[in-house]
Amino acid sequence: MTKARRILLAGAGEELRALLDRAAAQMPDIHVDEAESLEPQMLNGKAIASTAMVVELDLRSPTAVQAFEKLAGSLGERKVIAAARYAEPGDLRRLFRAGAADVLTAPFSSAALETALGELIDARGPAPAAAGRVVTFLKASGGVGATTAAINLAALAARGEPKQKRPARSTAMLDLDLQFGDADIALNLEPRSNLLDVIRAQSRFDGRFLQGVMTEHGSGLRVLPVAQKIVPLDALSADFAADIVRQSARLHERTFVDLPSVWTDWTLSVLRASDLVVLLSAPTVQGALGARRTLDALVEARLEAPVMLVLNGIAGLVDGFEKPSRISRSLDRPIDAVLGHDPNATRALDRGAPVVEAYPNTRLTRDLRALAQKVEQRLAQAPTQQQDQIGAVA
């Protein structure tokens, strides 16, 4: 017999209580308890024994917010869903930092409550195998379109390619370009939390926290965006940056990581947590020189993950033959893929949509689909070092 999972409800009005009863009816083996107080000493162990808690609070009341912070901080794990009335963006960040696993804002809905409960209950089940694969994008120089490539490949992975017999996969996009990342803008997202919230909650960070701060795109892609202000690159440590990547790999079949143009103290730690590195270069002398320096640095660092070299911005058929061949000879290594120059990339950015969705029949979209197929083929051949590394730190 399956052991019943317990949901503890606190401070709820009739509306939220009815929604929770409806949500619980859709889930097997769920039992709902109700608490009269948020004070930890008054819960008599109910909070600790519960699988999840749902707490309704009025954010206009400082006492209610302080009681929530005290309760969330007293628990050893992140399992409290805050149902917040009169919430402002700053309030959401405060609740997540206090230890909320998720935050629902009024007016409450059955769908949002069921989703929050489902994610939390699933996350507290048996730990999934660390089967996720990580693809990290490096830039040979600034302005080579690595973010565009990463976003579009992530969107293709999330929705799948039936004609290519590639299934839709649970997919994450981690924007680790702390100072100039714009993945949320490129996807027209309005995130309620971002990478800065993760950094501030480092001591309480885990997979459930990461789930709570990511924003979902219509394609199914889940995005960890950067803050809309300049954040020092050393705000991330090498160990913590790698931990973010590893936690994402626990939760998703594919994780795509976009790094800053400059190398940081944590660049190599992220690359070593990756199963495949995609190096983007412009098809120019400057791009080839940047690619050479980057490739030499990766060899010197003894990076084990395979590296794909992609030329982005090829204009015309003649350049499509001549430049890859010439750069390949100068680097003494093959060019793995090329992406054509296409003004639709900028137009798609202005529309807040991936190129593959906004302009599905263009040359660039065809190039991106071909690159996605090559990435999957390379992942199939690559060592499963991500599984080994995650297992080592689990």
d(C-alpha 42, C-alpha 11), whole Å? 13
CATH number of residue 59's parent domain: 3.40.50.2300
d(C-alpha 337, C-alpha 373), whole Å? 11
Which of 72, 94, 123 lies at the terminal end of a domain, its last residue? 123
For the segment 115-143, the average pLDDT, to the nearest whole number, is 74
Identify whether residues 69 and 155 lie together within a single domain: no
Counted domains in the chain? 2
Identify whether residues 108 and 148 lie together within a single domain: no
Residues in a beta bridge with 272: none
Identify whether residues 252 and 212 lie together within a single domain: yes
For the segment 297-319, the average pLDDT, to the nearest whole number, is 89
d(C-alpha 232, C-alpha 204), whole Å? 21
| Locus of tokens 């960890």 | 224
- Phi and psi of 33, rounded to 5°? -110, 165
Sheet holding 337-340, edge to edge: 215-216, 222-224, 171-175, 254-258, 133-139, 276-281, 307-314, 337-340
Q: Which helix (H) or strand (E) holds 80?
A: strand 80-85
Average per-residue pLDDT in the chain?
84
Identify whether residues 142 and 230 lie together within a single domain: yes
pLDDT score at 387:
47
Domain that holds residue 248: 133-393
Q: pLDDT-based confidence at 18, cuts 50/70/90?
A: confident
d(C-alpha 156, C-alpha 118), whole Å? 25
> Is residue 255 in some structural domain?
yes
Whole-model pTM?
0.70
- Yes or no: say if 36 and 67 are a contact pair by the CB < 8 Å rule: no
pLDDT score at 275:
96
Q: pLDDT-based confidence at 34, cuts 50/70/90?
A: confident
pLDDT score at 127:
43
Task: Print burial letters for 205-236: b (CB count within 10 Å at least 16), e (below 16).
Answer: bebbbbbbbbbebebebbbbbbbeeebebebb
Percent of all residues in the chain with a pLDDT value above 90, rounded to a whole number: 43
| Token pair listed for 287 | 């791009």
Q: pLDDT-based confidence at 110, cuts 50/70/90?
A: confident
Identify whether residues 195 and 148 lie together within a single domain: yes
pLDDT score at 30:
75
> Is residue 128 in some structural domain?
no
Res 306 pLDDT > 90: yes
Position with higher pLDDT, 124 vs 111? 111
For the segment 37-44, the average pLDDT, to the nearest whole number, is 58
Res 297 pLDDT > 90: yes
